[in-house]
């Protein structure tokens, strides 16, 4: 009888870890989904009455949702874009334009899958999204990294 309880005691950390891991996955997937929806909205609905749009640029609000990818190795994949930098501004604009050419053209797009994948940059949180473009079914992967407790878009495939 004591052996039975000892075995259960040994398995307890496995069950606890599995439960915590499943909870983190659910929390992360919800946060990534929320981030994607916010970014889609920013790229699609530009408020041209906002004085910062004419001062800074069309997609200035999106920069804090997009991961820095550039020549600065210290910031690469570890920081968010800075819209005040012309190269980073150009990249943010390109990302928003690409978003607006993909799922943002179909208001009934669907997130069909969430998964994580560990690469050299960190743990990627990927959302597979289906949508229609010109009557044809399309699928695009939006990949996010978590930086300073916030998810940012790092890649679109």
pLDDT of residue 26: 85
The predicted pLDDT at position 75 comes to: 97
Burial environment of residue 6 by CB neighbours within 10 A (0 to 12, 13 to 18, 19 or more): exposed
Would you state the pLDDT for residue 24? Answer: 79
- Where do we find the tokens 């550039």? 70
Our count of domains for the chain comes to 1
Query: What CATH number has the domain bearing residue 63?
Result: 3.10.450
pLDDT for the residue 22: 53
Give per-10-residue mean pLDDT for the chain (157 aa).
42 46 78 97 95 95 97 96 97 97 93 96 97 95 97 97
What are the DSSP E strand ranges found in 48-109?
Answer: none
Q: Find the helix packing angle between 2-44 and 86-101, rounded to 10°.
A: 100
Most distant CA atoms of the chain, gap in Å: 75
Residues 6+ apart with CB under 8 A from 89: 57, 63, 81, 83
Provide the domain limits for residue 120: 2-156
């Amino acid at each position: 009888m004591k052996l039975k309880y000892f075995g259960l005691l040994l398995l307890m950390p496995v069950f606890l870890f599995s439960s915590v891991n499943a909870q983190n996955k659910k929390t992360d997937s919800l946060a990534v989904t929320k981030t994607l929806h916010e970014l889609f909205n920013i790229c699609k609905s530009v408020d041209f009455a906002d004085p910062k749009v004419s001062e800074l640029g069309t997609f200035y609000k999106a920069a804090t949702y997009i991961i820095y990818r550039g020549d600065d190795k210290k910031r690469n994949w570890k920081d968010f874009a800075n819209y005040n930098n012309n190269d980073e501004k150009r990249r943010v604009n390109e990302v928003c334009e690409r978003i607006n050419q993909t799922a943002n053209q179909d208001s009934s797009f669907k997130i069909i899958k969430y998964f994580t994948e560990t690469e050299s940059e960190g743990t990627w949180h990927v959302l597979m999204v289906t949508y229609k473009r010109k009557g044809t079914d399309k699928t695009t992967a939006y990949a996010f990294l978590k930086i300073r407790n916030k998810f940012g878009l790092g890649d679109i495939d």
